[in-house]
Amino acid sequence: MSGSRYRWVILILSYLCMLGLAFSIQSLPPILTLIIKDLDLTHAKAGLLVSLFALPTIFLAVLFGSFSDRWGSFKMGVISLILIIVGALIFALSHSFLYAGLGRVITGIGATAVFIVSAQIVSQWFRGREIGTAMGIFNTVMPVGAIVCFTTFGRLAESLGWRVPIFITMIIGAAGLTSFVILYKPVSKRPQGIASEKERQPGLFSSLLKVGTLMWSVGFCWMFFSASLVSFITFAPDFFISKGYTIGFAGFLTSLLSWGPLGLSPLIGRLMDKVGNNEVFIAVGGIIMAMAFYSIARGGNFLLPMVVMGLGVALVPAPVFSLLPKISRPENLGLSFGILSMFASMGMLFGPYVTGLLKDRTGSYEVSFIFLSIFALLLTLTALVLRSKRRGD
């Protein structure tokens, strides 16, 4: 198969690998109420279980990104998918917060590298050719994972126990590992200036100095987006259950915010190829998300705000991911996605924990969700600063 066609196989492969990450993140919120009861957790500890998933990324993402540039995507991909499987197994067999937390940390280590490798190989194969479209499709993986998890895992856990959805997550990870071993190929024809995976790469600190301020600004955008979205997804089912909804319908309501990204991300990615203006899309997405968070915190009708939030969420990932190849050196793509992953995990680390802590302290989710709306507005502000910097360069 020619390289121009095989890049679509690579996109499908990266999608399958990312499903393991998506299910690892999204499998907990629909069953979190059951886990809280079974393991006798506070809401702060429950939020910490989600946050622990992100803890390794803060310290390892940049290093893993550099390793992926230096050692090659194949080794990193295989090791990372194995770690996702092992971490899910430990979590599924846990009977205490300690072992559950250990499983989440191990899964988080694997997920860090899976994200970097998957995004890196898509960027390499599509660089200069429909990168926005490819990233738009690539970014539907999280909505797909959310929709499947939130519409099925709650009911499944009620019937068979909360551990069964975690075992399903293991199976998804194993399918990704098998596919990666069989289908992965390095990009065979590189544009001038892109180093082979086996060629000697500069040191980590030398590479970090060459990244530039634009990359760090994109990282802050992704941090505020991740902090607000992951925190909301973590506690939304429990919030809806507290309002009198069943666990199944609470999962359905939460899944509504994923339909917008699923349907619109490829279209938005295509627009990135045609018109650019990535920062404008990101800024508008932040405003819409902030309005939706506030409406849910203060209102009693949740259907419309959830749909609106889905539209806001759809406006952010594809513009962020398609922006990275435009502002990064070709030989530093792995490092750039490592930086992005590090910032995302910083948001995931403190966001859910603080959100759960505010719930424990105040007894309601109103303050927690207003707190998330502030993060969404910070996303908008950072995107506008990024636009100003790019226009000034």
Within-domain flag for 264: yes
* 8 Å CB contact between 391 and 279: no
Return d(Cα 45, Cα 257) in angstroms, integer: 25
pLDDT at residue 206, as a whole number: 54
pLDDT confidence tier of residue 102, bands split at 50, 70 and 90: very high
Within-domain flag for 38: yes
pLDDT tens by residue, 37-46:
999 888 888 8
Residue 86 in this model has a pLDDT that exceeds 60: yes
From the CB of residue 213, how many other CB atoms can be counted at a distance below 10 Å?
11
pLDDT confidence tier of residue 234, bands split at 50, 70 and 90: confident
Return d(Cα 97, Cα 135) in angstroms, integer: 36
The most confident of 49-58, 235-244, 345-354, 374-383, by mean pLDDT = 374-383
Return d(Cα 369, Cα 386) in angstroms, integer: 26
Helices (H), 40-96: 43-71, 73-92
pLDDT confidence tier of residue 197, bands split at 50, 70 and 90: very low
Within-domain flag for 365: yes
Within-domain flag for 202: no
pLDDT tens by residue, 49-83:
877 877 777 777 777 777 777 777 888 899 999 99
**CATH code of the domain in which 95 resides:** 1.20.1250.20
pLDDT confidence tier of residue 163, bands split at 50, 70 and 90: very high
pLDDT at residue 213, as a whole number: 76
What mean pLDDT is predicted for residues 120-138?
82
Q: Which residues contact 84 (CB under 8 A, 6 or more apart)?
A: 20, 21, 24, 107, 110, 111, 114, 173, 176
Owning domain of residue 256: 3-185+207-392
pLDDT at residue 270, as a whole number: 84
Name the domain count of the chain: 1
Return d(Cα 15, Cα 237) in angstroms, integer: 26
Residue 133 in this model has a pLDDT that exceeds 90: no
Signed CA dihedral, 125, 130, 132, 136: sign only: negative
Within-domain flag for 293: yes
Within-domain flag for 200: no
Return d(Cα 346, Cα 341) in angstroms, integer: 9
Within-domain flag for 333: yes
What mean pLDDT is predicted for residues 331-349?
80
Return d(Cα 301, Cα 93) in angstroms, integer: 38
pTM score > 0.85 for this model?
Answer: no
pLDDT at residue 382, as a whole number: 94
Return d(Cα 269, Cα 318) in angstroms, integer: 5
Residue 331 in this model has a pLDDT that exceeds 70: no
Q: What is the amino acid identity at position 229?
A: L
Q: For residues 326 and 294, which has the higher predicted lDDT (pLDDT)?
A: 294
In degrees, rounded to 5, the angle at the alpha carbon of residue 220 between the alpha carbons of residues 105 and 83 is 20
Within-domain flag for 364: yes
